Structure 1
């Protein structure tokens, strides 16, 4: 880890956000790394190409395992269990990310929060306690017709750069939303917005306020 360049260290630490044995979509990971601001612009390479270069470097060093390769390009990867334990420990030391689950609830100071499991299918924490949050990501496996809900009040985090609600059903006052709430337009620093596999099929006009948005993932439908 100490021998890695700064950007590669950040990419490696970022892998701590994923659950155990999770197959990581390389393209999505690249977009998240860019959105988080970990990748610096280069005169010769696009930021996405730089991010892929750092991922390939981690694979070459056997820190990450290439899981699926198509036409010579890594499409998905996994992190070895032992190494995952190491980077989770390091990420905790650096307060790099907070993993929300049944044992560890929301952090009032950590700038990144990842949800792996929803308690009673709901994310009930008061998001107003951490207005410095830079990213909120839901990464989890779902079985059957189990539903996840994220209250629209969770969107009132003005400094967010990355927001991924893939597979979750967004609720407001007890009703399921098929459109993103207008408050999404207040997230003017947002670079990555993920709403894949959700009932959302309408984007509000306020989304035009997000001038720095780089990636909008609205693929699939739950």
Structure 2
């Protein structure tokens, strides 16, 4: 077994890492398509489009039919998702127990998701109490894969980035970790295969969220 990686803090992505939120995002995206008179896209198709923020998601779901997103599409997405973001979204199996096991060090969230959703969704799922701080995509100059979000969430904690783990399910998470000088732990229970994550520079791969208790060794 590979020796656990010593860490003084752990930063988590949200969607696809802590919570399985793809279905609710896909339903909101298809709501936008319906408002435009377009047929629903299969869930698997929309899931492939998720991960780079709402503007990119809308470009993909409408661009499939040659349309360009407008302000009304963004407004329709948020109006629907704000009301239905927890209809089907749940934490991945073992999240709460794993967070308790890692709680000897600061646990943080860095997500491209807008701040309007981050806090309420964590609270609605009973996860907010685990995290010392969250930083969302609208709170920094540049979203992941830029390192800004990781820098912001670590600000004032006086930590060596090399002893901080960034845990996420996307290539953007791995690239942001590399850019910030942190350990990159990739989750493959999302959409990306392990080989692709390792090729992007992941230091370790978690096939289940509970694997993090074996991959990471909190310092206290």
Q: Could you state the TM-score of these two structures normalised by the residue count of structure 2?
A: 0.37
Q: Could you state the TM-score of these two structures normalised by the residue count of structure 1?
A: 0.36
Higher relative contact order (CA 8 A, sep 6+): 2
